[in-house]
Amino acid sequence: MKFLETKLKNNYLIQHDNFEDNRGSFKRVFCQKNFQNLIQNKTIRQIKQITSRKIILRPHPGDRKTMVRLQNEIKYANVELSSNPDIRVDLANSWATVVFNSSPGVASLINGVPVFQMDVRPDYSMYGEVANNDITTLEDPVLYERQGWLERIAMCHWSFDELKDGTAWNYMRNYI
């Protein structure tokens, strides 16, 4: 992902990474705080029926207790737990990301990794329009055009400083 300067101070264009056909041999499953649900709801088994690629589970960054507990509970061959602090390390060489409906899906799409969203209501997601919803197509993901989606979500994010100093209001009032 690249940030390109514009003529407007502190405004940038975000250029997402392209999807690449030579994506690596990994699948990543990003989890919210409850890994046990991931295992109990058979997501891992479902993925393993579709592909022989390695599966890497990435815990929620604030949930280290679950990481320690599950290091002893994961009994599947070719499944690992990630301890990388930087999500971009886990996304490098990833074939796809499987999520319920969480922020790592955004990072995956920006970094050129297709997303499979497991939420039964994809319209509730900020990336439902550019995510795959049928896990059976894991080996042949749709590579959606993401530029329009990226521009829309970029317009929805303001820092606290921008909210406090009026930058967000000065921009938004032009559209009311």
Residue span of the structural domain in which 6 resides: 2-14+153-175
- Residue 40 confidence (pLDDT): 46
CB-based contacts of 80, cutoff 8 Å, min separation 6: 54, 55, 56, 57, 74
CATH code, 116: 3.40.50.2000
Same domain, 10 and 21: no
Statement: the pTM of the whole predicted model exceeds 0.85: no
Same domain, 57 and 109: yes
Give the residue ranges of the chain where pLDDT is below 70: 1-3, 11-41, 64, 66-67, 69-70, 72-73, 175-176
Please give the DSSP secondary-structure letter assigned to residue 59. Answer: -
- Residue 132 confidence (pLDDT): 94
SS3 67: helix
pLDDT one-digit tens code per residue, 130-164:
999 999 999 999 999 998 888 888 777 777 788 78
Same domain, 24 and 96: yes
Task: List the beta strands (DSSP E) in the chain.
Answer: 2-5, 12-15, 26-30, 54-58, 79-81, 94-99, 115-117
Among the listed residues 30, 32, 77, the one whose alpha carbon sits nearest the alpha carbon of residue 53: 77
Same domain, 74 and 123: yes
Same domain, 73 and 135: yes
- Residue 131 confidence (pLDDT): 94
Same domain, 7 and 24: no
> Considering its fold, how many domains does the chain have in total?
2
